[in-house]
Structure 1
Amino acid sequence: MNAPLKRVDPDAEPTAPVLPSETEAEPTATEPQMTTEAEVKPKGRRRLLMFSVPVLLALAGGYVWLTGGRYVTTDNAYVHQPMVSISPDVSGRISEVDVIENQLVQAGMPLFRLDPEPLSIALAEAEAALASAQLSVAQLRAAYDTAQAKLAATLHIKDVRDREFDRQKELASRGISSSASLDESTMAVYTSENDVSLARAAVESAAAALGGDPAIKTDDFPAVRTALAKRAAAKRNLSKAEVLAPVTGIISQIESLNVGQYVTPAATVASIVKTGETWIEANYKETQLETLKIGQPVEVDIDAYPGVKLDGIVESISSATGSQFSLIPAQNATGNWVKVVQRLSIRIGVTPDPAHPLRDGMSTSVSIDTGLSRLDKLK
């Protein structure tokens, strides 16, 4: 809509147009001074904050850094427990299995049994061999006694013939006996001497067959000792037909324990994880080892049990890095050598918590309390 027209009085005096600048009041002399002071105060505060906050942060960071460094941590740490491989001492076919997978077994508990019949037969053969060896010793003793008796007999015969030779010699010197009789006596003496020599050799041979000691005990004779050892081995093998747990722990990996399966001493058929001995193997960087010592306290966090902390102690520090124990150690004498930070294994003894059992291979995080902060090192 159009605005209504304003009526103009022709008798009224014309008025001059009003300018905007003439209607505004002129500022007083004090207003600019008040605005400047109000603006200066916020600017000063901002400058103070701009300088003080970084300084405070730097001081706080420096304090934290200087008072830190007491705890050396790593998450490259794992639970370890001794693992014992189970294998039979003798070959045989499994006839009975007494355990199941992941069963807790006590030391001396039967695990499985082998068929004892072949082992019993081997024991019977060993006992027969022992009896045969003992019989041989008895025969050798009899041969030695016979050789001694023959020697004694030939010595007596020689003594008689020596006396006969002396008589014939005296008679011949008197002319009473003939030369033929003297010759016969002489031949008889020679024959008896030869018989004595043969008898002595037979005695020596019989003594040598007895090991050079005719008074040797039967069980000390070499052949008998060999037979005794074979019989003892056969008895041991028969006793090993029942395989017992060597340690207390949890048996695992029993897939090869099946009735009817033939096993040998070189084959591992199961494993027992010894739960009574547990430690942590922490792999620290070589740059973290400066303040680590044996006997320092350790705090252990188990990944499987969030919030659970176990106490431990540094037991030992490895004598070489892990790469040195590898099958093929690294060779750095080449042109393309790249320096890599090495790690050393630290064994940490841990106090177990029955409510939170540890298993071999569990991941952990460990923190070793060195007792020295960076500020202490600077003193």
Structure 2
Amino acid sequence: AARARAQAAGRARTDFLATMSHEIRTPLNSVLGFAGLLAETEDGLSPAGRRKLELIAQAGGSLATIVDDILDFSRLEAGRVELRPEAVDPAALLADAASIIALSAQSKGLSLSVEADLEAACDYALDPARLRQVLLNLLNNAVKFTASGGVRASVALETGVDGAERLRFTIADTGIGIAPEVQDRLFQRFSQADGSISRAFGGAGLGLAISKTLVTRMGGEIGIDSALGKGATFWFTVPAVPARAADAVRVEQEAAARVLLVDDHPMNRELGAAMLILAGCAVQTAEDGDEAVRIAADGGFDVILMDIHMPRMDGLAAARAIRALDGPAARVPIIALSADVMPHQIERCRQAGMVDHVAKPIQRDALITALNQWIGRESAAA
């Protein structure tokens, strides 16, 4: 009986997190998306107006990060995160992560340097998404807690006492530093050095706990060297397993890709269409699954972007109905475009015949990457 109650409580927590994630991500999609579009397309904005847009984007991004951290920690705690190693250049990945936070460092007048002490042209078997997540967490913290000076990121190959080679990543800053007596609890969930940290700098105190869990899953270790007022150096190691790089394939489109965008929310349709048109796509929209199936049956689309929660016919039912059509229309790749981001929700999308998933709030780079991957290909789920 106690086990049944615990399992029911676990299911209730998962359902609650999934529902709240969806409800928060949906309006965030419009806030972040339209702020980005305004900043990119409106040349007549005053400096003050552009600054206000940046503040909107920063605040929305902070909220999205907190939602992601809570979901990530829940998935890790439940053992639902799988590592997907592939051939990765650690130096390039570190440089890429540093470039993402470069503007934040520049806006604070901080220097940012990246160093690599590795053999040339050697890739390693790593999960790039999870490794980038740890690096961004540490880099963002370094910039956040540094008022002057700079941040230095490095990666080097080292040999442990057991003779095994490891990659050692180091993120050093000249910030506020951390007293030795509070360093042990930094990697615990919902924990920060003291209560004033969250008031002054924000955050839910989950980032380092997530980072430690991910590094441990990768077979490595993470730690910190710091003193109050003397900056901080976070480091972590992962096994250095050489891998052969796979050849990259990119689909070239001579004509504009035809995209069917399906979403019941008018604001989401407007935002998605604007992003796709800026990317050079020809866009047609549908406001529910029933309309999407009728339009898809006429054919001619290179890819379908499908929301999940819609009236009359939801995205899962619509995907199954499209897969049941006759001819080429049944083989068009369907990509979920949804605020449903829990692993079991993404798996339901794949079982319904969808080939990929792009989370809301939409990050344009992620959307374009998914389109490039699937445009010109037919789905094997038909």
Q: Which has the larger radius of gyration?
A: 1
Question: Which bracket does the TM-score occupy, shorter chain normalised?
Answer: under 0.3
When normalised by structure 1's length, the TM-score is 0.17
Q: Pick 1 or 2: higher relative contact order, CA cutoff 8 A, min separation 6.
A: 1
Q: Which has the higher helix share?
A: 2
